[in-house]
Amino acid sequence: MAKAKKQKLKVDPAEAEARLLKILPILKKTYPKAKIALNWENPWNLLVAVILSAQCTDVRVNIVTEDLFKKYKKPEDYLAVEPEELEQDIRPTGFYRNKAKNIRGAAKKVIEDFNGSVPKTMEELLTLPGAGRKTANCILGNAYGVPGITCDTHVIRLSRRLGLSTNSDPVKLEFDLMEIVPKRKFGGWTMFSHFIIWHGRNICKARKPDCENCPIAKHCPSANDPELW
C-alpha cells in the first residue's frame, strides 16, 4: 500500500508574525556577530563577490576575491583586460564565462550611467547585468544600510520550516516576509537574513536539522519533522 502524502500546512500571516517576534530575539542573542560571509571593502567589490557567489560557496568566492580585488581595484579595471583574462581569474567559482560577462556589463553600466559608483536604489540596481532582487537587497542592506531581505537558499528553506511562508520562489517569498518581518526592530530586514542564514548553516541544515540543539525549536512548527513544510 502506497504511503499517504503528508498534508502540507498553511500559513496564517498573523500567527507567522507572532511566531517571528518570539524567534528573532533568540536568534539575535544566539548569533550576535551574524554578518555577510563574503569579504568586501566597498560596494563595487561586494557586487562582484555576490555575482561570483551564484552556484558557488562563499568560502571559494573569498579565496578567489583575495587576489582578484588586488588586481582589479575599480570597475574600469575589469574592462581594461580581455574577457578571457577575467574568465581565467574567476574560473574556480564556476560558470565563469557568464559571470565575467555580467561583471564587465555591470562595470560598463556603473561607469556610464552612475558615475562609477554602485547605485543605491533597488530600481537602479536591477538595471545592472547579473543583479536580481537578491543581489540588490544584499548590496542595499550591507553596503548602504537600506533594509532589504536577501532570499537565498537558507532563507527559503527556513522560512518554510518556520511556517513564515509556503513560497519557494525568492521574489514571492521576499514580499511575504516583508509583510511580517520588522523592518528595523531586532536589526531589521537585513539582519533577519543574516540570522536565518547563520542558523541554516549551523543548526537547521538542509539534510539533517539539529532540532535537539535548536534554540528556537519550541517555536518551530516543524521541529523534529522538517519535511512537514
Catalytic residues: 134, 152
H helix or E strand, kind and range, residue 200:
helix 188-202
Give the residue carrying C-alpha cell 537578491.
134
Nine cell digits for residue 30: 544566539
Whole-angstrom distance, CA of residue 178 vs CA of residue 162: 15
User: Pick from 229, 226, 223: which is nearest to 23 by CA?
Assistant: 223
Helix/strand/coil for 62:
helix
39 touches 49 (CB < 8 A): yes
What single-letter amino acid sits at 123?
E
183 touches 147 (CB < 8 A): yes
Whole-angstrom distance, CA of residue 189 vs CA of residue 134: 13
Burial class (CB in 10 A: 0-12, 13-18, 19+), 141: buried
User: Pick from 94, 36, 40, 108: which is nearest to 68 by CA?
Assistant: 40
